Structure 1
Amino acid sequence: MTEHPAGYLFAYFTSATEADGEQVRFALSTGSSPLNWTILNDGSPILDSTVGEQGARDPFVLRAAGLPGESASYYLLATDLCIARRDPATAWEDSVRTGSRSIVVWESDDLMSWTHPRLVEVAPPNAGNAWAPEAIFDKASGTYLVYWASTLHSPTNDPTRVPYHRMLCANTTDFRTFTPARVWIDRGWSVIDATVVEAHGFFYRFSKDELSADSSSPDAKFITAERSDTLDSEHYTVIATGIGKNELVHGEGPIIVRGPGPGSWFLFIDEFGHRRYTAFTSDSLASNTWTPITAAMPQGASHGSILALTAEEYTQLEHLADN
C-alpha cells in the first residue's frame, strides 16, 4: 500500500440502464484528496469487456506484487455480468442461479494501456455466480488471495435448501491459474462485497450483511468490519456492524483507502438506488465509529475500487486527464 498517496484512481461502472453502463470507467482524484474527482475519457468507458457476458461490473484495480516472472504491473478484476443483456423480468434471479462462474481480468504496465480482457473460471460447478472479485497479496503464502461472492446450490437441487451468498476465495500467482475455491465467509445468510486492507499487523475486512432488515437484525443491509492477523482465516474478530445505518438507506460495495495525511482513513459506501457512493472517515481502522464527510464523487458511480497512487503514477494519469 502507498503510505503517503499523491492521489487516487477510481475504477467503477455506472448502470445497467445505460447502453455502456456495465463497463469500466476511471476517475482521477483532484489533487491528493479522494473526496473530489475528475472523470477521465469524458466519462466513456476505459475498458470494455468483449468476453463472457460482455459486461464488467464491480471493477477492482490492484498493484502487482512483483513476483518472479510476473510481467504485469497492475491488474483489474471485474464481475462477468451484463444485466442489460438479460430478460428484465428474471435478470437478477437468473444471474445468481445460472450466472457466470468466471471473472474478467485485464493487465497493464502503466494504468493507461491495458491488455485484452480474459475470462478465468474461479467458482466451483455448484456456484450460481462469481460477484465482485477482489485480491490482495498475502506475504505469508507468497500468493494473491482472490475473493468473491457466490451462491452455492445443493447438488440435488433440494428446494428446501435456499442458496445464499458466501464469500469464497482462492490463491493465484498469475491470475490465470487458481487453487480450488474454498469458503471464506459463511454466516448462514448472504454476505457479499468483501474488501480487505492490511495495516498495523492486521487484515481489516469490510463486507455487506445481506440479512433481511427488520427489528431482529437492525444492522442488516449495511457494512460489517472485522480484523484478523491471518489473511485467509475463517475466524475474523468483529469490530463494528451496521456501519452507515445512521446516514444511509442501505449500503454495499465498501471501499477502504488510506488518506493522504497520517492516521486518516476513508470508507466509501455505495447507497445503491439513492445517492450512490457516500464517504466516511476515521482515524483508526479499529474504530467502530465512522463519520460522514462531504465528497463529490463521479455522478452515477457504482461499485468500484480506489487505488492509492505514487507521485509518478498520478502525474502520468494527470497527463491523460489533460488530453
Structure 2
Amino acid sequence: MADNYAGYLFAYFKGNETAEEEQVYFALSKGNDALHWHELNGGRPILTSYLGECGVRDPYLARSPQGDKFYLVATDLSIYRNPGWNRAVTSGSRSIMVWHSYDLVHWSDQRMAEVAPEDAGCAWAPEIFYDAGCQQYKVFWASIGSGRYHRMMVAETKDFVHFGKPKVYMDYGYSVLDATLIEHKGLIYRFAKGKNIIQEVGTGFEHDKYKMIHQQVEQDFMVRGEGPIIFKSNVEEKWYLFIDEFGFRGYIPLVTSDLGSGNWQIPAHYTLPGQPRHGSVIPVTLMEYDRLLQVYG
C-alpha cells in the first residue's frame, strides 16, 4: 500500500478558548509534502463530541492492519466548559472517545469507552498500537495513579468495545505522558513527554528495557514541548517528529534520515495548519486523498 500513498492526513484539536476548539479538525498535506498543509472543512470541526464532557482533545488516527478501516480515539475533556487543570487531572473522565470509519469521510456514531481504573484521575491522549503477535490492539494513555503523577497505562481490545483490564505500561517515578510509537526494521521507537521529550528504542511493545536514545529531543529547537507526533515519509527514508511548543509557537516539525540516531534537524521552510494542538498524522492513498478533498474541500 505504501506505493499508493499520495499524502498525509493530520487530525488535531485547536485549544480551549471556545467550545469549538476542543473538537476534531483535519488537515491534508500538499501531496506528499509533509511540511505544507491546508485545513479541511474550511477550518471547522470534522467531528464534534456530544458525550461525556462534550469536548475532545488529542485525537489519534489508526488504520487497521487490513487497511480498510480507521479508528479515531480521543481524550474526553473540556477545559473550556470545566475550567481548572486540577479537576481534569484528579477527577476527570476515565473514558476515551471512539469513532470508526471505512473511508475517512463517513464516521460512526461517537462511543464512550471507560478504560482507566477506578483510582485513576483521568485518561489522557489515548493512542493505538496493533500487536500482530497477539492480533490485538493495544490502547495506551496517561492516568494519574496512586503516586499522584502521570503513568502510561495500557489495555487490549479487538473491537474498541470490549477492553481488557488496564495495567501500567510506563512508570518512571515521575510524570510521563503523550507516549507515541513507530516501528522500523523490527524495532519500536518510543517518544514521550517526561521531564523533556524523550526518545527510546525497544524490541517489542511491552519490552521492559527500552534503551534511551535522547533525553531532551526538543531542547535545541524550542522552549518546551509536548504532544510528539512521529511518522515516516511516504517517499523516502525520512521521519518527521512534530512537537508542540505549547504556549509559544505551537507545533514545530523536526526531521531525520536516521531514526535510530536521535539526531534531528528543523527544516528551513514549513507551513502547518492554523493552531493545531496534540493530534496525529497518517498516510493516505490517492483515492482517500481525493475523496477527502472532494468532501471537505
TM-score higher than 0.5: yes
Do the aligned residues in 1 keep the contact of 2:32 with 2:235 (CA within 8 Å)? no
Secondary structure of the 1:313 match is helix
- For residues 153-164 of structure 1, the aligned pairs below 5 Å read 153=146, 163-164=148-149
Q: Distance in 2 between matches of 1:3 and 1:57?
A: 32
Deviations 1:260-311 (A, max 9, x none): 3321111000111111100000012101211011321111110000011122
Shift of 1:19: 2.8
Is 1:10 aligned to 2:3, yes or no? no
Do the aligned residues in 1 keep the contact of 2:120 with 2:143 (CA within 8 Å)? yes
Query: Residue in 2 aligned with 1:182?
Result: 167
Give the residue type in structure 2 aligned to 1:101.
R
Root-mean-square deviation (Å): 1.5
Is 1:26 aligned to 2:57, yes or no? no
Q: Distance in 1 between matches of 2:3 and 2:140?
A: 24
Do the aligned residues in 1 keep the contact of 2:123 with 2:141 (CA within 8 Å)? yes
Deviations 1:151-189 (A, max 9, x none): 013xxxxxxxx5000000111110111111111111100
Query: Residue in 2 aligned with 1:156?
Result: none
Query: Residue in 1 aligned with 2:141?
Result: 148
Query: Residue in 2 aligned with 1:159?
Result: none
Q: Distance in 2 between matches of 1:232 and 1:2?
A: 26
Segments of structure 2 that go 5 or more residues without pairing to the other structure are: none
Q: Give the aligned length.
A: 296
Query: Residue in 2 aligned with 1:212?
Result: none
Do the aligned residues in 1 keep the contact of 2:30 with 2:36 (CA within 8 Å)? yes
Give the residue type in structure 2 aligned to 1:168.
M
Do the aligned residues in 2 keep the contact of 1:5 with 1:308 (CA within 8 Å)? yes
Do the aligned residues in 2 keep the contact of 1:184 with 1:233 (CA within 8 Å)? no
Q: Distance in 2 between matches of 1:23 and 1:167?
A: 23
Do the aligned residues in 2 keep the contact of 1:136 with 1:146 (CA within 8 Å)? yes
Identity %: 44
Query: Residue in 1 aligned with 2:154?
Result: 169
Is 1:229 aligned to 2:203, yes or no? yes
Correspondence for 1:136 among 129, 134, 137: 129
Q: Distance in 1 between matches of 2:56 and 2:3?
A: 29
- For residues 80-99 of structure 1, the aligned pairs below 5 Å read 80-86=76-82, 88=83, 91-99=84-92
Shift of 1:5: 3.3
- For residues 1-323 of structure 1, the aligned pairs below 5 Å read 2=2, 5-66=5-66, 73-86=69-82, 88=83, 91-153=84-146, 163-209=148-194, 220=195, 222-293=196-267, 294-322=269-297
Do the aligned residues in 2 keep the contact of 1:5 with 1:259 (CA within 8 Å)? no
Shift of 1:321: 4.0
Do the aligned residues in 2 keep the contact of 1:4 with 1:261 (CA within 8 Å)? no
Deviating above 6 A after TM superposition, structure 1's stretches of 4 or more consecutive aligned residues are none
Q: Distance in 2 between matches of 1:321 and 1:29?
A: 13
Give the residue type in structure 1 aligned to 2:176.
V
Do the aligned residues in 1 keep the contact of 2:157 with 2:164 (CA within 8 Å)? yes
Deviations 1:8-27 (A, max 9, x none): 00000001002311000000
Do the aligned residues in 1 keep the contact of 2:4 with 2:286 (CA within 8 Å)? no
Shift of 1:41: 0.6
Q: Distance in 2 between matches of 1:4 and 1:237?
A: 34
Q: Which has the larger radius of gyration?
A: 1
Shift of 1:3: 6.3
State TM-score, norm by structure 2.
0.96
State TM-score, norm by structure 1.
0.89
